Structure 1
């Protein structure tokens, strides 16, 4: 795996006299834009029937056989509300030349299109022998914070690479290596609690979930930054989830290499933050395990103790993510950071409610929720708040133990999982849990089928104001 991925080398380049003019055209502006072009250009566009549909791309030749200009459609207002990253979707349709952008976009629209351009350069090539195709390059648009855009894109590329890597090559040890690579790049400190040391360090739930695998469970702990607000990110790192003794059906197991998507996403977000040099005291915690089947696997009906002291009845060994997160969240909460964020591919119930594109989040903090929803709309990283409904607390209280990891009945599964995690956070004033999918089921502009980050861009946009940076 590439240690420090970039979605596409040289996505942005410096000014050159050989660049081809590239126009972004909204459908409602098509007539006025066409009227401003030379007659031969108008005739060419008319002959091709160019209507500026989303991602529609046309190249106009000059009189010498070269390209006079290129145009990419962005569709109507309705189209643009339904589809992100038109420019990214068109990048692969352009010959691998250098382009100079012409547009009438507002700053936020330009940032989105430029990010899509970068993201469209991503492909997962670890197991391919062929060389990657050349990509079109873009002269850095004036006033665009290209370093910031590239940091976001590189963070997303890291997330995608980690999720796309199969469990044969991305177990707890390999996830630790990627975690350490990220820390080395940004001169962060890392500590690892491994195997039976988890018991000695009072992290029993992480040990219980991972002990059945011959790939030792571990807790990864990164610290970066010496001043500013204390921000802690916790990501679920279940590198493969068989379901344990409550074995998943084969069809449900096919995507379980992505069950470390929470870890991958917080690592991508951490890269964005560190690359931009935020004045924060950043901590990243990843419980890295494989939920396997063997003679010493945890069993349905087992009672487990947690770091916090709460006992947990295991009524389904396939509800393991909340167990490993419980110990990690307790450890994080002991420092009472200014902000605690948890990200996990946690429940199928969240997908039933929201589909693959929208990530629900849970928080008691109304100001934080408002900031996240505003940022979500601003950067078009879809989120939606679901309630930590206190009346459902009884569903996670089995009677025989303090908590139940898998309430019967199947109702409100995403909410009961969030309520379970919420029991392990008491001292931190601001806490949010994200139940993400981490996978793009079919290709979309700048989002190939496969691993995908969710929520990181919205957090990256919201946190500076929330933390008063």
Structure 2
């Protein structure tokens, strides 16, 4: 799970960097972690989960576990009344298909916030790109047995899989998505060494999130 824990590592590192840069506002860090181990209590294909906000989710892909725990974290963050919520996760292979391993993907229903953080990423020399997210993406993982499925059953989450995953997450923040940004960390990890970086974590995204915490 050295790659899959990249989201928790990135947001932790970003908060630490923001503090070193003089952060003087209250920030609450939620680490949405799941241990992938065999258990009699593990969810199974076909299970329907009911979340605290009443949303029901059918599990159609057991490998799409990150978004299931992120949903809890987003609801907890929203309940604090925070004006800014940034989540970061190595959420989809679809983001890597779209952008390669050099760019992180941004998603937000708050387009003004999305553009500001995109500008921060450019200023911090961390390549990022915005991919589509609209309210109707919430309905891109349909289920006959729940409000939504946790993915599409097709490999990679179907066409636009990264946007579909972001649409799923948008169900768990405020209705208009105001003040929320989702970062799909396509550039967080190198499975093989490159001319620029060795095998392992890249830390790409840490400076951008730290900058957002200081500026927003």
TM-score, normalised to structure 2's length? 0.90
- Match in the other structure for 1:394: 139
Instruction: Tell me if the contact between 1:373 and 1:384 (Cα under 8 Å) persists in the aligned partners.
Output: yes
Instruction: Tell me if the contact between 1:315 and 1:407 (Cα under 8 Å) persists in the aligned partners.
Output: yes
Cα distance between partner residues in 2 of 1:413 and 1:267: 26
Describe the shift of the 1:337–1:392 C-alpha distance in structure 2 as closer, same or farther (beyond 3 A).
Answer: closer
Please state whether the residue corresponding to 2:106 is helix, strand or coil: strand
Instruction: Tell me if the contact between 1:336 and 1:429 (Cα under 8 Å) persists in the aligned partners.
Output: no
- Match in the other structure for 1:419: 167
Cα distance between partner residues in 1 of 2:153 and 2:76: 28
Q: Aligned to 1:460, which of 188, 210, 215?
A: 210
- Match in the other structure for 2:84: 339
Is 2:178 the partner of 1:429? Answer: yes
Which is greater in Rg?
1
Please state whether the residue corresponding to 2:109 is helix, strand or coil: coil
Q: Aligned to 1:348, which of 90, 93, 114?
A: 93
Count of residue correspondences:
210
Larger relative contact order (Cα-Cα within 8 Å, sequence gap ≥ 6): 2
Is 2:196 the partner of 1:451? Answer: no
Unmatched tracts of structure 2, length 5 or more: none
Is 2:130 the partner of 1:385? Answer: yes
Cα distance between partner residues in 1 of 2:123 and 2:32: 32
Cα distance between partner residues in 2 of 1:257 and 1:464: 28
1:10-45 residue CA offsets vs partner (Å, 9 max, x unmatched):
xxxxxxxxxxxxxxxxxxxxxxxxxxxxxxxxxxxx
- Counterpart mapping for 1:395-410 below 5 A: 395-409=140-154, 410=158
Is 2:63 the partner of 1:318? Answer: yes
- Match in the other structure for 1:273: 18
Offset at 1:462?
4.0
Offset at 1:454?
2.3
Instruction: Tell me if the contact between 2:109 and 2:178 (Cα under 8 Å) persists in the aligned partners.
Output: no
Offset at 1:429?
3.0
After superposing on structure 2, the runs of 4+ consecutive aligned residues of structure 1 that deviate more than 4 Å are none
Cα distance between partner residues in 2 of 1:302 and 1:415: 23
Cα distance between partner residues in 1 of 2:102 and 2:112: 24
Cα distance between partner residues in 2 of 1:377 and 1:424: 29
TM-score, normalised to structure 1's length? 0.43
- RMSD over aligned Cα, in angstroms? 1.8
Offset at 1:370?
1.8
| Bigger strand fraction | 1
- Counterpart mapping for 1:17-36 below 5 A: none
Describe the shift of the 1:389–1:420 C-alpha distance in structure 2 as closer, same or farther (beyond 3 A).
Answer: same
Offset at 1:392?
3.5
Instruction: Tell me if the contact between 2:136 and 2:167 (Cα under 8 Å) persists in the aligned partners.
Output: no
Unmatched tracts of structure 1, length 5 or more: 1-255
Please state whether the residue corresponding to 1:282 is helix, strand or coil: coil
1:143-173 residue CA offsets vs partner (Å, 9 max, x unmatched):
xxxxxxxxxxxxxxxxxxxxxxxxxxxxxxx
1:239-279 residue CA offsets vs partner (Å, 9 max, x unmatched):
xxxxxxxxxxxxxxxxx322110000001001111222312
Please state whether the residue corresponding to 1:286 is helix, strand or coil: coil
Offset at 1:463?
4.1
